[in-house]
């Protein structure tokens, strides 16, 4: 009897473990495939004038009449419309979400560019292009701070792998730089300790609840004009500017649309991020080594940061 109970208990544990694994896999699938398929996100990006007008300026400045342009992650279609209006001969727009793609298609038609902009529904990470096509201009705004969340790196690598871009292809953006510093964050909210990754978007009250304690240094620089190593692993030495406590790393990004058009954080782009780490007391002048590793585009669940050494 006891053996039957034990066997039943083991079976229940195995079922629970299996369901937990299935739930985890489903969660990862949702995170990887659907995290940015939001009409609300598309709408917010569209009304972010600082971001959108900066892209418009860059596209207008570089586009030439005989060019073929590619807009990946077209969303509302605004970047493709900018390229078409700037005189590109042919424009291709790629969107993963069919519902969002329908909106983009309607926007192309309503603005008189339905025949000029070719809409493609598919995943830019493995989308297959015709062998004879070459792109003179690639516009891709699938950006997040540190390139941690979205799949821009993988999408860019797919273009290079298929050889549909070449040395003279212009990428907008062309480079993203990410910086790191040590900070103290007040994670207390509503009388609870809410220690978690936080994006410090414009206008949110928690933006005021942190203090930078160290110098800021370049963590990595991603150039989209060539194939990119999708794994980052590095040790950064940071000098403490203010004595006190550090309990997080502060990450920020700067995006080069061209060599002269640069944007930092806006209402919907490159929000600084704080990531909790083990708390440590520090003194002004201390130099601390911070080990950071992650895979671009795989989310904060794979982002690791820690102070190493004494």
**pLDDT, tens digit, for every residue of 147-175?**
999 999 999 999 999 999 999 999 999 99
- Residue-wise pLDDT for 196-208, tens only, equals 999 999 878 777 7
pLDDT of residue 3: 53
Paired with 198 in beta bridges are 274
Q: Could you give the C-alpha distances from 166 to 131, 135, 184, 195, in angstroms and in order? A: 14, 8, 44, 45
Does residue 10 carry a pLDDT above 60?
Answer: no
**Which tens digit of pLDDT belongs to each residue from 207-252?**
778 999 999 999 999 999 999 999 999 999 999 999 999 999 999 9
What is the C-alpha to C-alpha distance for residues 304 and 295, in angstroms, rounded to an integer?
Answer: 10
In the predicted structure, residue 7 carries a pLDDT above the cut 60:
no
Query: pLDDT category, 36, cuts 50, 70, 90?
Result: very low
Fold of the CATH domain 39-141? Rossmann fold (3.40.50)
What is the pLDDT at residue 91? 98
Output the pLDDT for position 17: 43
Q: For the chain, how big is the Rg over CA atoms in Å?
A: 23
Is residue 11 pLDDT above 90, yes or no?
no
Q: Do domains 39-141 and 175-308 have the same CATH topology?
A: no
Answer for the pair 214, 283: CB distance below 8 angstroms, yes or no.
Answer: no
Annotated domain spans of the chain = 1-34, 39-141, 175-308
Instruction: For residues 42 and 100, give the distance between their C-alpha atoms in angstroms, rounded to a whole number.
Output: 8
Close Cβ partners of 139 (under 8 Å, ≥ 6 residues apart): 55, 59, 69, 70, 71, 72, 79, 80, 82, 83, 172
Sign of CA dihedral 73, 79, 83, 85: positive
**With helix as H, strand as E and coil as C, how does the chain read?**
CHHHHHHHHHHHHHHHHHHHHHHHHHHHHHHHHHCCCCHHHHHHHHHCHHHHHHHHHHHHHHCCCCCEEEEECCCCCHHHHHHHHCCCCEEEEEECCHHHHHHHHHHHHHCCCCCCEEEEECCCCCCCCCCCCCCCEEEECCCCHHHCCCCHHHHHHHHHHHCCCCCCCEEECCEEEEEEEEEEECCEECCEECCCCEECCCCCHHHHCEEECECCEEEEEEECCCCCCCEEEEEEEEEECCCEEEEEEEEEEEEECCCCCEECCCCCCCCCEEEEEEEEEECCCCEEEEEEEEECCCCHHHCEEEEECC
Distance from C-alpha of 163 to C-alpha of 138, rounded to nearest angstrom: 13
Give the CATH architecture of domain 175-308.
Answer: Distorted Sandwich (2.70)
Q: How many CB atoms lie within 10 A of CB 46?
A: 16
């Amino acid at each position: 009897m006891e053996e039957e109970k034990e066997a039943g208990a083991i079976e229940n544990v195995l079922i629970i473990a299996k369901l937990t694994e299935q739930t985890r896999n489903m969660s990862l699938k949702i995170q990887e495939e659907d995290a940015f398929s939001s009409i609300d996100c598309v709408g917010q990006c569209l009304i972010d004038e600082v971001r959108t007008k900066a892209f418009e300026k860059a596209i207008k400045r570089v586009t030439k009449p005989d060019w073929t342009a590619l807009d990946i992650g077209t969303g509302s279609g605004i970047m493709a419309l900018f390229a078409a209006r700037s005189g590109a001969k042919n424009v291709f727009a790629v969107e993963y979400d069919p519902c969002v793609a329908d909106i983009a298609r309607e926007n192309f038609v309503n603005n008189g560019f339905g025949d000029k902009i070719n809409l493609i529904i598919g995943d830019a990470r493995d989308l297959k292009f015709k062998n004879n096509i070459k792109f003179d201009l690639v516009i891709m705004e699938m950006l997040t701070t540190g390139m941690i969340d979205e799949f821009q790196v993988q999408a860019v690598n797919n273009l290079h792998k298929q050889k549909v871009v070449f040395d003279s292809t212009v990428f907008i953006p062309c480079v993203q730089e990410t910086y790191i510093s040590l900070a103290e964050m007040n994670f207390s909210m509503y009388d609870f300790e809410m220690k978690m990754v936080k994006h410090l978007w414009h206008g949110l009250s928690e933006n005021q609840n942190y203090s930078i304690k160290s110098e800021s240094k370049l963590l990595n620089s991603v150039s989209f004009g060539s194939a990119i190593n999708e794994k980052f692993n590095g040790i950064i030495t940071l000098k403490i500017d203010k004595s006190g406590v550090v309990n997080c790393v502060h990450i920020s990004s700067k995006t080069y649309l061209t060599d002269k058009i640069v944007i930092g954080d806006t209402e919907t782009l490159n929000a600084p991020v704080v990531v909790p780490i083990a708390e440590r007391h520090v003194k002004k002048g201390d130099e601390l080594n911070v080990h950071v590793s992650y895979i671009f585009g795989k989310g904060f669940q794979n982002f690791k940061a820690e102070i190493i050494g004494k």
